[in-house]
Chains A and B, each alone.
Chain A
Amino acid sequence: MNEKRFLQFLEKELSGIPQEEKKDILFDYREHFTMGKADGKSEEEIAKALGNPTALARKYKAEYYVENAERNRTAGNLFRAVLATLGLGFFNLVFVLGPFIGLLAIIFALFAVSAAAVISGIAVFTEAASLPFFFGNAHLPAFVAENTAASAFLSVGLVSLGCLMLIAVGYVSVWVFRITLKYLKLNINIIARR
């Protein structure tokens, strides 16, 4: 591979990261080629010693997307960072995608449970409130449904429990976000330096 093709491959694979960064990265390799040639090496020799430009570009990309997710903490940026890290090797399907899906599933389950608590609280309230009008169709045990204090207590309790759990899920999500980014950084440093 000669210099031109090396730089072309690198540039092509760097698509998606900002122009300014791309220029910066290409500058380093162009400089490297210039120095190497001044040292009397052939373009092919230099390119071979540098390694695979596609693999290099993927590493830059993964690093860029992880930094980006750190700066702007949105779910979309986190997903992009995870995807970019997957490009570093087959290995990461198991060691990044697997655990990540697992964590998402846990968050989703916690969210579903909290939402269910809020919804049942509301349901208890509606049922108790509508009982005088629809006699005999109660789903609640009679001693609760016919006791205003008990049903009010149950419904308020369920709604507040659900809300507290939702707040907790929010904290858990933020924590998962941070842990994921930390792990991705570690992963990039360990895996991609070949």
Chain B
Amino acid sequence: MNIQFKKGVLELLVLSILKKRDCYGYELVNEISKNISISEGTIYPLLRRLTKDGYFETYLKESKEGPPRKYYRLTKQGDSTRIDLESEWYDFIKKVNNIVGGDKTYE
């Protein structure tokens, strides 16, 4: 996939995954790189920035194997940003599809 596309949607991807459940960093990276190939290291600066901006809270949770893990939880502010980004995204692909070939259906 085109690299510029990936950069733009990374934030939406992270917010959407955390909407479903709290995750730790490695889980998030895996969830995304399962579908889209990215340079995995770039997720962490993004998580850090979004945490500082108040979109996530973090907490440490013990795990059965190994040291405690840092979990990310979506805040209210994060969720409202997610909603905005999501509607922007649908708006965007609708417009692109209108030009590229709107009569095709996409899964």
Contact = CB atoms under 8 A, between A and B. Distances in A.
Interface string B1-24: 001001100100000000000001
Interface string B27-57: 0010001000001111011111100100000
B39 A32 contact: no
Given A35-B26, A51-B39, A28 B3 contact: no
B101 interface: no
Chain B contact surface mostly: helix
Interface residues of B, number: 25
A40 to B, nearest CB: 13
Interface string A36-75: 1010000000000111110010011001000100000000
B42 A51 contact: yes
Contacts of A34: 66-67
Nearest to B70: A31
Contacts of A36: 26
Q: Majority SS of interface residues in chain A?
A: helix
Given A50-B39, A60-B45, A193-B10, A27 B29 contact: no
A189 B71 CA distance: 23
A190 B41 contact: no
A194 B41 CA distance: 9
Given A32-B26, A193-B42, A49 B69 contact: no
A31 B65 CA distance: 12
Going nearest first, the 9 A-B pairs with the smallest beta carbon separation are A50-B41, A51-B39, A35-B26, A51-B41, A193-B7, A49-B40, A28-B44, A56-B41, A50-B40
Given A31-B70, A49-B40, 6 more contacts: A28-B48, A31-B25, A32-B40, A49-B33, A60-B48, A192-B45
